[in-house]
Homo-oligomer: A and B are copies of this chain.
Amino acid sequence: MPKQKQATRDRILDAAETLFAQKGFEGVSVRQIMSAADADVSLAYYHFKSKRDLFDQVMLRRVEFLNEIRLQALTEVEERHSDDAPTVEEIIGAFTQPLMQLLADDHDKWSHYYQLIAQINNSPEQGGALMSRYFDPLVSRFIEALRKALPDCNDEDLYWSYHFLSGALTLTFAETGRIDNLSGGVCSSTDIAAINDRMHVFLAAGFERLCQKS
């Protein structure tokens, strides 16, 4: 039966997720991954077509689930406003809050995936194509909602605003420890409550000022 098979496959995916997040795709060998997963090297090629395929499966496992609950969060916000339009802050909250909730619930399960996303988003070679493939349908739905909340905003301002949001969001979830150094310990990269209090406020202000100018 595929019981042990599934267990091994998941152990490989977990080990790969952690190591890809820490060292990047090229920075890790299949041998290192399989050693961390406590399984033989050849099993990687039984369960996956190639190293690249393993990487793809690591991503897809999380992306589908995440996009679904984020879409659901947006729908709930919209249903709460059947007659008027939701505020910018509420829409951005629906985009970012589910990510933060998962991180708060099980940090070690999600932090490596978020770190991977941060690296992909900032990769000049494949960043554009991969991020679009994973997220553009979801993001287009959010842009649509924001367009209704900011009826005087032109599309160029709207897309650039989302782009700035994307950079701030993915760096925040990369948990690099930079803010710990810079602030001399006043702030911590892993302080989810601190982020939760601030990120949507900062970003909503950016959207509103940029879009009211247009």
Contact = CB atoms under 8 A, between A and B. Distances in A.
A122 B128 contact: no
Interface stretch (A32-40, A48-56, A67-75, A159-167): A159-167
A156 to B, nearest CB: 6
Protomer copies: 2
Interface stretch (A7-15, A21-29, A100-108): A21-29
Given A122-B122, A136-B181, A209 B213 contact: no
Contacts of A118: 122, 124
Interface string A176-190: 111111110011010
A132 interface: yes
B164 A202 contact: yes
A115 B124 contact: yes
Contacts of A176: 121-124, 127-128, 131
Interface string A130-173: 01100010011001000000000001110111111111111110
A203 B159 contact: no
A17 B140 CA distance: 35
Nearest to A201: B210
Contact of A202 (B155, B182, B206): B206
Nearest to A121: B171
A79 interface: no
Contacts of A41: none
A119 B123 contact: yes
A160 B124 contact: no
A187 B143 CA distance: 14
List the 6 shortest-distance A-B pairs measured between CB atoms, nearest first. A167-B171, A128-B177, A127-B176, A205-B209, A202-B206, A26-B27
Interface of A: 21-27, 115, 118-119, 121-125, 127-129, 131-132, 136, 139-140, 143, 155-157, 159-172, 174-183, 186-187, 189, 194-195, 198-199, 201-210, 213
10 contacts: A25-B27, A124-B176, A128-B178, A129-B181, A131-B178, A157-B198, A161-B198, A162-B182, A198-B210, A205-B208
